[in-house]
Amino acid sequence: MSQRGLFYGWVVLVAAATVVAMGQGSLFSLGVFLKPLEDSMHWSRSAVSLTALVNWMAMGVDRYGSRAVTVAGGSLLGLGLVLSSQATALWQLHVTFGFAVGFAAGAFLTPLSATATKWFTANRGLAVAIVSAGGGAGMLAISPLVRWLTSAYDWRVAMIVLGDLAWLVTIPVALLIRNAPAEMGAVALGGAAVPQRNFSTGQVLRAPQFWAIALTHFACCAAHAGPIFHMVTHAIDQGVAPMLAATVLGVSGLSSIAGRIAGGMIADRFGAKPTLIIGLAFQAVMVFAYLFTRDTWSFYAAAVAFGVSYGGVMPLYALVTREYFGEKVMGTAYGAVFLVSTLGMGLGSWAGGWIHDAFGTYAWLFISSAAIGLMATILAFSFRVPRRLVSGAPATAGAR
C-alpha cells in the first residue's frame, strides 16, 4: 500500500477511539444509573457498586485484540446492556452489566491501544492518547443521554436504547480496524520501530519493572475510580439536580480528552515517566479538592481539573510498558499491566459505595483516594531506564 494520500493509521485511530468511546461510555454509565437503581430497586450503593467491581475484573481478563474480537465485543456489549434492562435481582445485574459489559469493553481499550503503537512509531504518545480519548468522549456523550432517557422514561428504557446504540456503532466501525500496517502492505508512520530487547511472557512477569508499572497503575486507578464512579451521586447528595449532575460527569469526560491528548504530546517531547509523575501528583491534589465541592459551579470546576488529571495519565502506561518491553510482547505486557489496574478500578468503585453506606458520606473516600494517589506518584519514581538494542548490541543509553 502506498504511503501517499491519507495514511490508513489515522482511520484506525478514529475507528478505535469511536469503539472505545462506546465501551467506556457504557461502562461508566453505571455511575449515572446508580441513584435510579437505588431508588427504584432499593439496592444499596455498595451492592450496585459491586457490579462495577465485576465490570473491571471482567474487563481486565479480556486482553486479546483483533478486528474479529472487536466485532464480537460490540455484539456482547449491546447484548449485555439489553439484558441488564430486564434485571430484577442483583445477581442478574452482576452477570449482565458486570460481566458481559465489562468483558466486552475489555475487547476494546487495551488491545486497541496496543494496535495504535504498531501503526505509529513517530508521535506514538499522541496516537495512544487519541485512542484513550475515546473514553472521555464516551462519558461526555453517553452520561447526559442516559440521564435524559431515565428522566423521560426510566432506567430500563435507557439501558435498552444504549444497548441498541452499542450494536449500531461498534460493529460497523470495528470493521475498519486493521491490527498492523503489514495487513495492508504499509509500514508504520515514522518507519520501522527501533530494535529492542525481546522479552518472553515469563520474563515480563518476572521483571521488577513490570510490577513497578503494574502497581503504579493499580494505585492510580484505585485513586480515581471511586471519585469518578460516585461523581454523579455525590453531586446529587449535595443538592445538584440529577440532569446537571450527569453533565458534570460528561464535563469531566470532555476535559479528560484534553488531558489525554496533552499528556501524550508532552510524553512524546519530554518522556512518559516525568509526565506521569507530574500527572499523578496533580490527580492526588484534585481528588482531595472534592472535599470542598458544594454547589453546581464548584462541581463543574472540579470536574474540569480532575478530568484533565486522570485523563492525562491514562495513555502513559501503554507508553512506558512499550518503552521497556518492546513491540513483540506489547499486547501481553500491557494486557497484564492493565489486568492489575482493573482490580484497582473495581475496588475503588466498590469501596466508594461501601464507605458511603458505612459513614453516610463520601468524605473518607476522597481522603483515602488522595492518599493512594500520592502513593502512586511515589511508585512512579521507581521506573527504570528501558534497555534497547543499538546496532544489534545491548546498550544502556537513557530513554527519553
Per-residue pLDDT of the chain (400 residues; tens, 9 = 90+): 444 568 888 999 999 999 999 999 999 999 999 999 999 999 999 999 999 999 888 887 665 656 788 898 999 999 999 999 999 999 999 999 999 999 898 888 878 888 888 888 777 888 888 998 899 999 999 999 999 999 999 999 999 999 999 999 999 999 999 888 877 777 777 655 555 566 777 888 888 999 999 999 999 999 999 999 999 999 999 999 999 999 999 999 999 999 988 988 898 888 889 999 999 999 999 999 999 999 999 999 999 999 999 999 988 998 888 888 877 777 778 888 888 999 999 999 999 999 999 999 999 999 999 999 999 999 999 987 655 433 343 333 333 3
Residue closest to 161 by CA, chosen among 174, 147, 182 = 147
DSSP string across 246-283: HHHHHHHHHHHHHHHHHHHHHHHHH-HHHHHHHHHHHH
- Name the residue range of residue 100's domain: 8-387
What three-state secondary structure class fits 72? Answer: helix
What backbone torsions phi and psi does residue 195 show, to the nearest 5 degrees?
Answer: -60, 140
- Domain assignment of residue 398, yes or no: no
| The amino acid at 109 | L
Give the number of other Cβ atoms within 10 Å of residue 182's Cβ.
Answer: 12
- Distance of alpha carbon 23 from alpha carbon 44, whole angstroms: 25
What three-state secondary structure class fits 2? Answer: coil
DSSP state, residue 97: I
pTM: 0.83
103 Cβ contact list (under 8 Å, min separation 6): 58, 59, 61, 62, 73, 76
Count of CA atoms in the C-beta half-sphere (13 A) of 204: 23
- Predicted local confidence at residue 240, as pLDDT: 95
- Predicted local confidence at residue 249, as pLDDT: 95
- Domain assignment of residue 288, yes or no: yes
Asked if 223 and 376 count as a contact pair (C-beta separation under 8 A), the reply is yes
- Predicted local confidence at residue 62, as pLDDT: 60
- Domain assignment of residue 392, yes or no: no
Residue closest to 225 by CA, chosen among 378, 43, 372 = 372
- Predicted local confidence at residue 397, as pLDDT: 33
- Predicted local confidence at residue 396, as pLDDT: 34
What three-state secondary structure class fits 87? Answer: coil
Asked if 213 and 319 count as a contact pair (C-beta separation under 8 A), the reply is no
Percent of the chain that is helix, strand, coil (3-state, to 5):
80, 0, 20
- Distance of alpha carbon 237 from alpha carbon 224, whole angstroms: 19
DSSP string across 328-342: TTHHHHHHHHHHHHH
Residue closest to 23 by CA, chosen among 130, 116, 101, 124 = 101
- Predicted local confidence at residue 121, as pLDDT: 78
- Distance of alpha carbon 76 from alpha carbon 196, whole angstroms: 37
Q: What is the CATH number for 63?
A: 1.20.1250.20
- Domain assignment of residue 120, yes or no: yes
Residue closest to 306 by CA, chosen among 274, 284, 330 = 284
Give the number of other Cβ atoms within 10 Å of residue 91's Cβ.
Answer: 9
| Integer CA distances (angstroms), 3 to 8, 80, 181, 184, 300, in order | 9, 40, 11, 11, 44
| The amino acid at 27 | L
- Domain assignment of residue 72, yes or no: yes
- Domain assignment of residue 395, yes or no: no
- Domain assignment of residue 394, yes or no: no
- Predicted local confidence at residue 390, as pLDDT: 37
Angle, CA of 77, 60 and 139, to the nearest 5°: 50
Q: Supply 324's cell numbers.
A: 521497556
Residue closest to 61 by CA, chosen among 115, 128, 107 = 107
Asked if 34 and 233 count as a contact pair (C-beta separation under 8 A), the reply is yes
Asked if 109 and 23 count as a contact pair (C-beta separation under 8 A), the reply is yes
What three-state secondary structure class fits 79? Answer: helix
Considering its fold, how many domains does the chain have in total?
A: 1
- Predicted local confidence at residue 194, as pLDDT: 57
- Domain assignment of residue 381, yes or no: yes
User: To which residue does cell 495492508 refer?
Assistant: 184
